[in-house]
Amino acid sequence: MVTNLIVERLEKGVIPWQMPWKVENGLPQNMIHRKVYRGSNFWFLLTVASQFDSPFFLTFRQVQELGGHVLKGQKGFPVVFWKILEKEESIDQIPFLRYYTVFNLKQTEGIDEGKIPLTEAYDHDFNPIDQAEKLIECWSDCPKISLDQSHAFYSPSGDYIGMPNPRTFFKDEQFYSVLYHECTHATGHIKRTGRHEKLPNHKFGSSDYSIEELVAEMGAAYLCYLTGIQNATIDNSAAYIKSWIGKLKEDKKLLLTASSMAQKAVDYILEHRTEPDGLVSLQGLGALAKAE
């Protein structure tokens, strides 16, 4: 049922996926144009922004135009810009690719502080959702969850999950959706389902990496459904999945592979509970549907 809901949204077109939280540091963006980077540039610079504790990036020329300079010995970071150029009076389309080098604001000095935008975290009174909380609390071998991080991630080497503060999420349900995404990643560890051994290429953008992201988001969508919060998260899940399917040549059949792996991941979580919480496994839901 959840897979069908996602497919329906995929067939309606791409939904612009956005991160459902805003921490104080903000998202990586060009300081002049205030545009958040997209695609692989976003993920690459997100790590850089966390390292320097600033979301703002500038080209060498932009730094100079603001009256500052790049600190001696600092190295810039490459970002990629591309689009399709169309020749006038012709149907030819030409792929256009350009590389830029940008520097984080903290790699510069001399820029008037009045020209630096202020950033603040989104903050709201987070209200834990009982059923969603119990899913994590009852998972017997759930990895350690470290809050107050600048972004969400799962560390296979340390076997722990990093999450932004729940108060920085725009909706309470989105916190759990992102957390479930990282929990699904964690099920792939060798001491759990061992899925990561079947998808060994962890390089960003690779086929294995893309499939693992599909699995994680499908797993998150299933867990949101089981805990009753899918209505507030399903569109974001569909958009995220669409972005990764695009990297794999729009092959929607990949959802079959991903959904199968995701079901195993979710069933692993549900089968390793310290106490019953009233949740029915995906296989159980299938049996109920057939009985009806």
Q: Are 164 and 146 in contact (CB under 8 A)?
A: no
Find the mean pLDDT for residues 241-268.
Answer: 79
Element (H, E) at 95: strand 93-104
What's the rounded Cα separation, in Å, for the pair 136 and 117? Answer: 38
In the predicted model, is pLDDT for residue 289 greater than 90?
A: no
Q: Express each pLDDT in 153-203 by its tens digit.
A: 999 999 999 999 999 999 999 999 999 999 999 999 999 999 999 888 877
Domain extents in the chain: 2-13+122-291, 29-115
Residue 54 CB-density burial (10 A; 0-12 exposed, 13-18 middle, 19+ buried): buried
In the predicted model, is pLDDT for residue 21 greater than 60?
A: yes
Per-residue DSSP letters for 252-270?
A: TTHHHHHHHHHHHHHHHHH
The pLDDT score that the predictor gives to residue 25 is 65
What's the rounded Cα separation, in Å, for the pair 270 and 187? Answer: 11
Of 2-16, 22-36, 135-149, 205-219, minimum mean pLDDT range: 2-16
The pLDDT score that the predictor gives to residue 220 is 95
Q: Tell me the CA distances in angstroms from 27 to 20, 145, 193, 291, one per residue in order.
A: 11, 22, 33, 48
Q: DSSP assignment, residue 279? A: P
Which strands, in side-by-side order, build the sheet including 29-30? Answer: 29-30, 56-59, 93-104, 77-86
Per-residue DSSP letters for 23-47?
A: -TT---EETTT--B--HHHHHHHHH
88, two tokens: 């006038």
pLDDT > 70: percent of the chain? 81
Please indicate whether residue 150 or residue 24 has the higher confidence score (pLDDT). Answer: 150
Find the mean pLDDT for residues 16-31.
Answer: 75
Find the mean pLDDT for residues 108-118.
Answer: 89
Terminal C-alpha separation, the chain? 14
The pLDDT score that the predictor gives to residue 191 is 96
143, two tokens: 């990895």
